[in-house]
Structure 1
Amino acid sequence: MNDVLFFLVLIIVSFGVGSFPTAYLMVKLLLKKDIRTLGSKNSGATNVLRTAGLMPALLVLCIDFLKGFLLVFIVHHGAGVAFFPAKHLALLVGGLAVLGHIFSPWLKFNGGKGVATGAGIFTALYPPLFPFCMAIFVIVLFFTRRMSIASMVTAVSIPLVSYALHIWFHTGIDLAYLVVSILIPVGVILAHRKNILRLFAGTEPKISL
């Protein structure tokens, strides 16, 4: 397979893997219902937690995480193509996976929020980031009990923590990585726009801890 064909196939596969409607299929399988008509009407792990319980939600979370992690990890440690180094190709793959998750064609381009998939992507790209962002997520969730706030705060922290860690370890940060580490969180926050409106209205539901 030549580089151009491989590149095109990878683009299609990346978006396709990201678009896999994990939460929708889980609720359809367990409850025989459309998750888009239940709870917050979002096709994501949090709504699975509200409608189907903890274990199905954890399974959805893991699968959505792996949707971002596996392809990016494989591409990042591969050879790349003639016109795209591996590290930049991995960034493109990750971005497409998140787009596929948020704009899933299987759900009429109305998918999840991209949080778990984004977490998988950045874990594959820069593993030291994971424990710090996970700590931020857990702390914010504990004090606010709102998954949306924890998700958005963690998303905003990604470029900041990435930059701080690169300074701490005296390693140069790739400009393309920095740009993607900003763009993906922006996409995640935009996907939470209904949650933001509910937060301002005081109607955003809390998570029981």
Structure 2
Amino acid sequence: MSYLLYALAGYLSGSVLYSYEIPKVFCGIDICARGKDHNPGAANVFRYAGPLPGAVCVALDLLKGFLPVAIAVQRLTPDSPWFGLVLAAPVLGHAYPLYYGLRGGGKAIAVSFGALLGLLPELTPALILAIYYLFFSLVAVIDPHFYRSVITFTLFGATVALWLATPSYTIGCVLISVVVIRRHFARYEGEKPSVHLGPHHAKQQERENHR
């Protein structure tokens, strides 16, 4: 029962869409209406509301994933398979938020990092996810972001399942991957994928495409 209560608390924490509410309340901007992908995420806050609101929203999205998991790590047994649900709960809340009728949730990338960082001092899952994102953002650059995120979270879930010896972390990370990938497909708009070697090459290709 304790695990379910902590999972519920994490889900409710994740259900607060700061990246939608903050620009709407403080800037009078509905980023879902303005954004092409209609996503209530920090990227659209940066794009339409500016760097300061964007940075605040990123911090809050990280925090709403971090706090429920970090508190649960101190008070529950992380080795229990039920802890996997606690780990994934904030991400599930962001993707399918209760306060918005289980619809209109975000792609849940920042909150995923927040939840994984909540496992401190265990940083392996967060580092795996970060390494894949950096590789596909700086080395073999996958565009657009839809494909980059889907491939990153697919490899993240598979790597954790094959590498980590803690079943609860594996369950949680695989659940996170499934939720994030589903949310990306829900907002898929038929973009075509491309792969570039390094960010400079990607920018050069982009300039050539606009000539």
Structure 1 length-normalised TM: 0.76
2:64 partner amino acid: K
CA contact (8 A) 1:137 1:153 kept: no
2:151 partner amino acid: V
1:198–1:30 Cα change, 3 Å: farther
**Paired residue for 1:54?**
51
Where structure 1 has 5 or more consecutive residues not aligned to the other structure, the ranges are 167-172
CA contact (8 A) 1:27 1:33 kept: yes
Aligned residues: 190
Deviation string for 1:39-84 (max 9, x for gaps)? 1211111221221123322221221112111211221122x2xxxx
Q: Which moved more, 1:178-187 or 1:37-46?
A: 178-187
Which of 189, 193, 198 is matched with 2:185 structurally?
193
Distance in 2, matches of 1:160 and 1:11, equals 23
1:1-209 mapped onto 2 (5 Å cutoff): 4=1, 9-39=5-35, 40-78=37-75, 80=76, 85-88=77-80, 89-109=82-102, 110-125=104-119, 126-142=122-138, 143-144=141-142, 146-163=144-161, 166=164, 173-200=165-192
1:115 partner amino acid: I
1:92–1:131 Cα change, 3 Å: closer
Where structure 2 has 5 or more consecutive residues not aligned to the other structure, the ranges are 195-201, 207-211
Percent of aligned pairs sharing the same letter? 24
Distance in 1, matches of 2:148 and 2:110, equals 12
Q: Which moved more, 1:90-99 or 1:61-70?
A: 90-99
Over the aligned positions, Cα root-mean-square deviation in angstroms equals 2.9
Query: How far 1:165 sits from its partner (Å)?
Result: 5.2
Distance in 2, matches of 1:14 and 1:132, equals 22
1:139–1:174 Cα change, 3 Å: closer
Query: How far 1:132 sits from its partner (Å)?
Result: 3.8
Structure 2 length-normalised TM: 0.75
Q: Higher relative contact order by CA 8 Å / sep ≥ 6: 1 or 2?
A: 2
